[in-house]
Structure 1
């Protein structure tokens, strides 16, 4: 009869504890590497990306539609210029609306 756990069982417990501590440190390192837990930074990054997408989308969309109209109507470069400036105006209006949202 054995009174306590055998040496095999103790070695297995030590290995499991070691594995558990290494796993926790690897998870912490991964969280630091990916920036997990930085909620405010992540929100600012998303907001900046949205503003950039609005600006580029308005300019590129207006220019592309204007170019197509110019191509088919033969009004080069007037439709391109008008719709480019219209796209920029819409982009700035959308950026202004994003900035006015309550946080």
Structure 2
């Protein structure tokens, strides 16, 4: 039987078990963070893509909503809706172009 020196690192097979335990704990923490929505933060490209998508959808939906309201107020059929969607798409793309020129 070998006695260990005070303060010396143990060299038995329990090291392998401790390593596996640490790996399992780290994996469990990672899974819990993903489940709780604490995943890794979004990088710059992902943020830019989300901003582009929001500009495009915002322009389309905003133009469609305004066109639908104008159709209801003025009784123009669906003309204002179509014009609103087209103008919203143009506005969305214009915002995306301005964003790309800044970056």
Into which bin does the TM-score normalised by the smaller protein fall?
A: 0.5 to 0.7
* Structure 2: runs of 5 or more not aligned: 1-23
Aligned-residue Cα RMSD (Å) equals: 3.7
CA distance in structure 1 between the aligned counterparts of 2:60 and 2:96, rounded to whole angstroms: 13
List structure 1 runs of 4+ shifted beyond 4 angstroms. none
Structure 1 unaligned spans of 5+: 1-21
Aligned residues: 88
Per-residue deviation, residues 61-87 of structure 1 (Å, max 9, x unmatched): 101110011011100111111111111
Confirm whether residue 52 of structure 1 aligns to residue 53 of structure 2.
Answer: yes
**TM-score normalized by the length of structure 2:** 0.61
More helix by share: 1
Kindly report which structure 2 residues correspond to 1:55-94, keeping only aligned pairs within 5 A, or say none: 55-94=56-95
TM-score, normalised to structure 1, is 0.61
